[in-house]
Chains A and B, each alone.
Chain A
Amino acid sequence: MKLERARLLPLLLLLGTIVSPGQTQPAPAETEAVQVIGLAGLKQNTKGSLKVENGSLSFVYSKGNCDFPAASMQDVVTGRDSQRVIGGTVGTISRLAPYGGGTALSLLRTKLDIITIQYRDPNGGLHGAIFTMPVGNAELIKEALLAQGAHTSIPSQAKSTTDSPLEREAMERMN
């Protein structure tokens, strides 16, 4: 029995060292995103990249970029949704596919994260912006914004855990 534990311990420690650096690293706070609505002068569903740096959030797209100071954000909220894999005009046309093909295609969906930001302009006017991004990135962006002075009405759900699940399981088994 002791021999088993002795074998298990180095293995778990090794796994722990592999997993831990990934969790202790600071969040990258940069992700590919789609601006759904809210940025002046931008069409709906503009693709770009969202980045948090130097106390502001910047959305970089093919023709330029938009910056908002994190301190002006009075609410940052994340959510989840899903969308059709084949979207846009092609997606609409694909609905007409014969023998239920259109219906089958609509079953192919990807999950995505939503981040909704409400901020004030220098005149005090309230603005809202919605971005979608790959799953798991919205919380990172939100955390980064909160760290740089943004506010939220819903506290972050992603509580940072000090131990990895593997380490916790190992500790339980050891005890």
Chain B
Amino acid sequence: MKTIKRATTLWILIAGLSAAPLLCEESHPAASSSAAAIEVQMIRPGEINLPTEFQVALYENLVQELQKKGVFSQVYRDGDRNAAGAVDLVTLHTAVTGFKKGSELERDVTTVGGSTSITIHCKFTDKNGNVLLERDITGKVRLIGDNLKATDDFAKKAATVAQETLSPDSSSSDAKKSGYKNVI
């Protein structure tokens, strides 16, 4: 009799433990839920002497990465008239605060020097102009790749920050992995 009781308890425990993760998953919303629309403004070089190809590559990579992440249901480009009618529109303003054009050749030869880095001040605002998030993000290429690869690095980081902070599911595992912390 005791053996049957123990076996039943054991089965109940096993069943309970195996069902626990499923219950936990249900308690969190899906990670792919889209927040709102975003309008990406063109990168403003400010007083930094940023080559035009970097400016355009930053902008295009940023638009592509935001579309890829799927945080926002709609990604509008700078000046898109359709953005005016969007509900919960977030606008991303960017200004270059630092730029170091390295050298691919130097990177190849020395493996320690010649890195390219771009630091950009990103400001996410709502439709009324209230700041939702402000962050300095740096894109780098240290070893392999041409100088424009730094723009890709920046775009990936910026899109991750947007996902972590502005997505309804900002405490997703992706956010924890990236190491960024929400400021606002």
Contact = CB atoms under 8 A, between A and B. Distances in A.
Interface of A: 36-38, 75, 77, 79, 81-84, 92, 95, 102-103, 106-107, 109, 114, 116, 118, 120-121, 123-130
A84 B144 CA distance: 12
A124 B79 contact: yes
Interface string B22-62: 00000000000000000000100000000111011101110
B134 interface: no
Contact of A116 (B56, B76, B79): B56
B60 A37 contact: yes
Given A84-B104, A95-B144, A103-B109, A79 B80 contact: no
A74 to B, nearest CB: 10
Given A123-B80, A123-B81, A124-B81, A79 B53 contact: yes
Contact of B56 (A81, A103, A124, A129): A129
A75 B45 CA distance: 15
A120 B79 CA distance: 8
A114 B53 contact: yes
Contact of A83 (B79, B81, B146): B146
Range class of the B interface residue count: 20 to 34
B123 interface: no
A106 B52 contact: no
A37 B52 contact: no
A125 B52 contact: no
B57 A79 contact: no
A40 to B, nearest CB: 9
Contacts of B108: 84, 95, 102-103, 106-107
Contacts of A130: 53, 56-57, 60, 148
A38 B60 contact: yes
Contacts of A124: 79-81
Contacts of B144: 92, 95
B18 interface: no
23 contacts: A36-B57, A37-B61, A38-B56, A75-B52, A79-B51, A82-B105, A102-B108, A103-B109, A107-B105, A107-B108, A107-B109, A118-B56, A120-B79, A123-B81, A124-B79, A125-B76, A125-B80, A127-B77, A128-B55, A128-B60, A129-B56, A129-B60, A130-B60
Nearest to A102: B108
Contacts of A81: 146-147
Given A36-B148, A82-B105, A128-B56, 20 more contacts: A37-B57, A37-B61, A77-B52, A79-B51, A79-B52, A81-B147, A82-B104, A84-B104, A95-B108, A95-B144, A106-B108, A107-B105, A114-B53, A116-B56, A118-B56, A123-B80, A128-B60, A129-B56, A130-B60, A130-B148
Contacts of A84: 104, 108
Contacts of B130: none
Q: Chain B CB within 10 Å — which of A36, A103, A118, A125 has the most?
A: A125
A56 B60 CA distance: 21
Contacts of B104: 82-84
B53 A116 contact: yes
A125 B77 contact: yes
B129 to A, nearest CB: 21
